[in-house]
Amino acid sequence: MSGRWVFSDIRGEGQEIRAMAKKLLVDVDCGVDDAQALMLALAAPNVEVLGITCCHGNSTIENVCRNVLCVLKCCNRLEIPVFCGASRPLLGKNIHASEYHGVDGLGDVPDLDFPGVEALSKEHAVLAMLRIASEHPGQVTLVATGPLTNLALALNMDPTFPQKIKSLFIMGGNMESRGNLTACGEFNFACDPEAAYIVLNGFDCPTQISTWEFTYKNMLPWTFYNEWLSKNTQKANFMRKISAHSDAYTERCTGKSGQVWTEGFVPCDSYAMAAAIDESFVTDFIHCAVSVELNGTLTRGMMILDLQETLKKKHKVFIMTKCDTEKLKCLLKEALK
């Protein structure tokens, strides 16, 4: 069942009603992999994206907002509201990923057609989160693919916020002490460890986490990636352009010690999005309480798995360990049609 019904009104105009659609609120720090995840969600027939909130991370908040609008324009979905959010972490300095994503966060493509900032909503992202959750109590699935600053601020403003959303899907953290920014810190959590700590210790809604190790252990073959980008569609052409910078970076890293992910295509943020869209995507998980280390010299920002239940926490999360990569391939293919 596609989740959509189409009928004609008395004027003969086609109207579309979403039936049983999953209501998503997506929080991003829009780089190339966020763009992939957004396009995946926009193409899914059983999904209604209620709004996209923006956060610092892969690039500056200004670039992140602009990048989201660019993705929506490419997909002809500029009717979806976009909200500007946190421009910096709760503590410390901004960390960006320009080496991989480009200075602008979207590959530094010179001829991309970016919409003007006037297309942004005037409402702050955190206030939009609280409003949307209140307007659709118990129905909104929140997908976070960047630093968790906006979510932490929303919780601090309204402690009942987690009870108002249906579920939370996070791309971030790690489960084997392997980092991709620091020795033990995954990028999204290491960008704002305090925010990650607040969210993992304050949100008590059903929560699934797609960690860094999970994504690269379920990487896709480069043969799929090359075929995926080879299609002659507007969306595929767009993806080829914005991916060229990160592709070049990955090629330079190939063979370097510790760069396991260069052995295959790892669309990090798409794993969390796929899990939110398709409940059968994740095939195995660890169910335990988690937290985040804030003080360690080498471990600041590292996610802690409380497998021995020493933290005595009631709320436990689902940490993805295995998934159906064929379903991910199908979702990615649909995204570029």
DSSP string, 109-144: -TT--PPPGGGS-SS-HHHHHHHHHHHSTTTEEEEE
Given pLDDT bands bounded at 50, 70 and 90, which one contains residue 332?
very high
Given this model, what pLDDT does residue 178 score?
85
Please check whether residue 106 is in contact with residue 31, taking contact to mean a CB–CB distance below 8 angstroms.
yes
Residue 2 domain-assigned (yes or no):
no
Name the residue among 82, 147, 89 with its Cα closest to residue 119. 82
Given this model, what pLDDT does residue 284 score?
98
Residue 306 domain-assigned (yes or no):
yes
Cα atoms found within 13 Å of the Cα of residue 318, Cβ hemisphere only: 18
Residue 228 domain-assigned (yes or no):
yes
Q: What is the mean pLDDT of residues 285-314?
A: 95
Name the residue among 58, 57, 56, 47 with its Cα closest to residue 25. 47
Cα atoms found within 13 Å of the Cα of residue 63, Cβ hemisphere only: 24
Please check whether residue 209 is in contact with residue 290, taking contact to mean a CB–CB distance below 8 angstroms.
yes
Give this prediction's pTM. Answer: 0.92
What's the DSSP call for residue 220? Answer: B
20-24, 59-63, 154-158: which has the minimum mean pLDDT? 20-24
Please check whether residue 20 is in contact with residue 312, taking contact to mean a CB–CB distance below 8 angstroms.
no
d(CA 13, CA 312): 58
Q: What is the mean pLDDT of residues 243-253?
A: 87
- Out of 29, 34, 192, 269, pick the active-site residue: 29
Encode pLDDT of 143-199 as tens digits.
999 999 999 999 999 999 999 999 999 999 999 988 888 889 999 999 999 999 999
pLDDT at residue 116 is higher than 90: no
Given pLDDT bands bounded at 50, 70 and 90, which one contains residue 259?
low
Residue % of the chain over a pLDDT of 90:
82
What average pLDDT does the chain have? 91
Residue 208 domain-assigned (yes or no):
yes
Residue 137 domain-assigned (yes or no):
yes
Check if 306 is active-site: no
Given pLDDT bands bounded at 50, 70 and 90, which one contains residue 17?
very low
pLDDT at residue 6 is higher than 70: no
2-6, 121-125, 211-215, 250-254: which has the minimum mean pLDDT? 2-6
pLDDT at residue 265 is higher than 70: yes
Name the residue among 322, 319, 178 with its Cα closest to residue 257. 178
Q: Which CATH number fits the domain that encloses residue 260?
A: 3.90.245.10
Name the residue among 222, 168, 246, 164 with its Cα closest to residue 200. 168
d(CA 228, CA 71): 18
10 Å CB burial of residue 259 (0-12, 13-18, 19+) is middle
Q: How many domains does the chain have?
A: 1
Question: Which domain range does residue 281 map to?
Answer: 22-335
Q: How far is CA 327 from the centre of its chain?
A: 18
Residue for token pair 């005037």: 122
Q: Say which residues have a Cβ less than 8 Å from residue 31's Cβ, sequence separation at least 6.
A: 57, 58, 59, 67, 97, 100, 101, 105, 106
Q: Provide the residue count of the chain.
A: 337
Please check whether residue 328 is in contact with residue 320, taking contact to mean a CB–CB distance below 8 angstroms.
no
The first and second tokens of residue 185, run together, are: 């810190």
Residue 143 domain-assigned (yes or no):
yes
d(CA 85, CA 124): 6
Encode pLDDT of 190-224 as tens digits.
999 999 999 999 999 999 999 999 999 999 999 99
Q: What is the mean pLDDT of residues 277-292?
A: 97
pLDDT at residue 255 is higher than 70: no
Q: What is the mean pLDDT of residues 280-298?
A: 96
Residue 111 domain-assigned (yes or no):
yes
pLDDT at residue 20 is higher than 90: no
Encode pLDDT of 224-233 as tens digits.
999 999 999 9
4-8, 163-167, 248-252: which has the minimum mean pLDDT? 4-8
Residue 219 domain-assigned (yes or no):
yes
Given this model, what pLDDT does residue 117 score?
81
